[in-house]
Each structure stands twice: as C-alpha cells, then as structure tokens.
Amino acid sequence: MRLLIVDDTALYRKLLTDAASQLTGVEVAGAVASGPLALARLAAEPIDLVLLDVFMPEMNGPEVLERVRRDFPKVAVVMISGATGADASITINALANGALDFIPKPQTTSFSEGMTRLRGQLQHVVNMVKLRRMNTAVAAPRAAMPTLPLPAAGSQSAPAAVLAPRRRVLPPASLDLLLIGVSTGGPRTLQELLPGLPADYRLPVVIVQHMPPLFTSTLAEQLDKVCNLRVAEAVDGERVVPGRILLAPGGRHLEIIRNSDGALVTRLTDDAPVNSCRPAVDVLFNSAAKCALRGVISLILTGMGEDGAGGVATLKSALPTWSIAQDEATSVIYGMPLAVVRRQLEDEVLPLPQIASRLTELARSRL
C-alpha cells in the first residue's frame, strides 16, 4: 500500500513517516508540505492512501480533500487532526464529505508512548483501506457466508451462543427504544440518516459512534443543527426520553439503566475497552437487555470490526428485538453489519436511504 503524507509541519511529517515505515506492506511514497504538492504527486504516481493535515497554508485539508475526491476518487483519505474545537469541527465536516476516517495528533508527553499509539492508529487505518478494497473487489454470495459467530479477538464481552436466536417474523408489538451502533463512516451516515426521522418520532434514540473525546460533542452539535429531533452528547444520569437523540461521549462507555423510579436513565463509566472500543456498542446493547423493555430496534451501521454483533445477540435473547443491518453497497466499511449478518441476527438488511423511513414506519405502527 503506497501512502502519501501531507502536513505543513516538518515534525509531524517525520513522526508519521517513521511510524508508517514500520508497518508491514506499507510504502511511504512521499511526505509533502502543502496541498498543491500533494495533488501533483497524486497526478504523477499511484497512491492508495493520503494522510492529510486539517490546517495548512495555500490549501487547507478540506480543500485538498474536495480535489482528491473529485480527481482521484479511488484514493482513500484519512485526516490528521489536532485536539482543538476548531480542528474537531473541520474534521467532522471532512468525514461527512468523504474522508474515510481521522487520526488525532499525538498529545502524550511520552515520545515512545505516542509513537506506539500512532503506529497502532496507522495500522488500523491500513486495515480499513484493505478491507474496503476487498469489499469492493469481491461481493461474496450471501449463501456462502459462514453462519457461526466470528471470534472477536481481545473482546471482553460475553461469548455469543453458537446458535443464534431465531429471526422474527414480525417486529415486536410494542417498542420502547431505538439503539444504534456505528463506526467508520459514521458522521456522514448519521448526517444522512437522522434528519429523516420526523419531529414526532416516538422512540428515544441512543447511539454509540466510535470516536475519541471532544469529537463526539462536535458531532452532536452538528447533527443537532440538521435534525428534527434534539441531538446531544449524553451526560450521566439523564433521562432517556422521546424527542431526543443521545450520543455516547468519546472515551466513555454509555449504559442504559432503570433508576429508583423505574425510568430509563444514562450511566457513563470508565470501564476497560470492550472489542478494543470505548464507547462500545456491545456495552450499550447489553445494558439495555437488562432493562425489562417491551421491545427495541437495534440498528448496526457502517464500521470496522464486530462491535455490536454480540450486543444484538444479547438483546434478541433477552427481549423482543427487531434487528436491522445496513447493506454492503451503502456501507463505507462493511464490517459491523456483516458481523450481524454472519451470525444470522438480522431481521432486515437495508440500504441507507431506506432506513429512516423504515424506522419511522416501525415506530408509528407499534404502541
């Protein structure tokens, strides 16, 4: 995989080059200081992945991204973002406009710790690009998919049963909650999906989007501007009510529990990552399974990995659950939805443009 680094700071160009050069199967094709130089390299030689700084002179990151998406649509772009409010806002917009993902710039005071973390983040990005290529190149027949649960390396969630709960013939007669899990490609997907829910949508909505601190609050603010429902980053102990969409804060697990009055409320924890994620979809879904709900909708959208599949299995074993998975064609990364399908946990597989209307239909037809 040939990688191009674009950052106007010499120090970050060196750090990114050193970290990427240590990854197997990765060749650093170049490290340039500006957008025009990056576009010239893309026109001159094959590049698979661009690591693109958010703030640069001449052309900033989003401007370069727009040109790359227009002129070199097969090239994957990952943003390199600082941990400031301005960086977070621009990064979320870039993700909504075609960037595959982002990597936060190292903030630790330990050089070795920062480099170890950076190598891990770059390896994750490289794996995503490889998976995306495989999904694009090979459309495996659904009948040929394995039906047993896939092992989740490093997962701290409970092992799934070998036999999946049976698919439902009809949605639950009553519904209390819509639970959503999403990762890579999430900001763009959520900005397309959530505005389709009407202002009178009767189910509370709770979302886990894999994302670090600061960025989830920015994402919630941006979604709130375009949605009919109120969108906010969840805080500890708030009620889960209709008319409101709650987003798990980056770096913390979000659970749903019953308080002493029997009302559904949020609980935030700093427990260890699950499926290498915090927040984790499995943590949210597993907590909801303990709340004696009449019925829920689980929706697993685009994302890398298998987080969420175990949680869907737990929900379906504990209470009436209607499971929806995003289809392969509209997923940026067909990992998380595929894990649900492979375990035979899905009740419906839908393309992104059809999901909001289906969620609305389900909520209106159920008490």
* pLDDT score at 157: 44
216 lies in the same domain as 288: yes
347 is catalytic: no
170 lies in the same domain as 107: no
18 lies in the same domain as 76: yes
186 lies in the same domain as 329: yes
pLDDT tens sequence across 210-233: 998 889 999 999 999 999 999 999
200 lies in the same domain as 232: yes
Res 152 pLDDT > 70: no
191 lies in the same domain as 273: yes
Q: Say if 123 falls within a structural domain.
A: yes
* pLDDT score at 111: 76
243 lies in the same domain as 361: yes
Q: Say if 265 falls within a structural domain.
A: yes
The model's confidence at residue 142, banded by pLDDT at 50, 70 and 90, is very low
Task: Say which residue the tokens 């998919």 belong to.
Answer: 145
Q: Say if 143 falls within a structural domain.
A: no
Neighbour order of strands in the sheet with 2-6: 27-32, 2-6, 49-53, 76-81, 101-104
Q: Say if 24 falls within a structural domain.
A: yes
Q: Say if 314 falls within a structural domain.
A: yes
Q: Say if 146 falls within a structural domain.
A: no
Q: How many residues does the chain have?
A: 367
98 lies in the same domain as 40: yes
The whole domain housing 84 covers 2-137
User: Is the backbone peptide bond immediately before 159 cis, with ω within 30 degrees of 0?
Assistant: no
34 is catalytic: no
* pLDDT score at 138: 54
Helices (H), 1-45: 10-21, 35-44
Which of 121, 137, 153 represents a domain boundary (last residue)?
A: 137
User: Contact, 245 vs 223, CB < 8 A?
Assistant: yes
Q: Going by DSSP bridges, is the β-strand pair 205-209/244-247 parallel, antiparallel, or unpaired?
A: parallel
249 lies in the same domain as 105: no
* pLDDT score at 180: 98
85 lies in the same domain as 36: yes
179 lies in the same domain as 72: no
* pLDDT score at 104: 84
236 is catalytic: no
User: Contact, 94 vs 219, CB < 8 A?
Assistant: no
Res 33 pLDDT > 50: yes
197 lies in the same domain as 344: yes
Spell 6-25 as b/e; 16+ CB within 10 A means b.
bbbeeebbebbbebbeebee
Res 23 pLDDT > 70: yes
Res 70 pLDDT > 70: yes
Task: Please pick, among 155, 183, 287, 323, the residue that the annotation labels catalytic.
Answer: 183
Res 167 pLDDT > 80: no
> How many other β-carbons are positioned within 10 Å of the β-carbon of residue 311?
31
The lowest-confidence range among 108-112, 118-122, 198-202, 208-212 is 108-112
Give the side-chain half-sphere CA count within 13 A for 96. Answer: 16
pLDDT average, residue stretch 351-356: 98
User: Contact, 81 vs 88, CB < 8 A?
Assistant: yes
The whole model's pTM is what? 0.86
* pLDDT score at 269: 97
- The enclosing domain of 169 has a CATH number of 3.40.50.180
Q: Say if 184 falls within a structural domain.
A: yes
Beta bridge partners of 254: 268
In total, how many domains does the chain have? 2
Task: Please pick, among 53, 176, 282, 307, the residue that the annotation labels catalytic.
Answer: 307
C-alpha pair distances (Å), 231 with each of 138, 219, 247, 302, 326: 37, 9, 7, 20, 22
Q: Say if 92 falls within a structural domain.
A: yes
Task: Please pick, among 210, 282, 287, 347, the residue that the annotation labels catalytic.
Answer: 210
- The enclosing domain of 71 has a CATH number of 3.40.50.2300
Query: From CA 123, how far away is CA 128, in angstroms rounded?
Result: 9
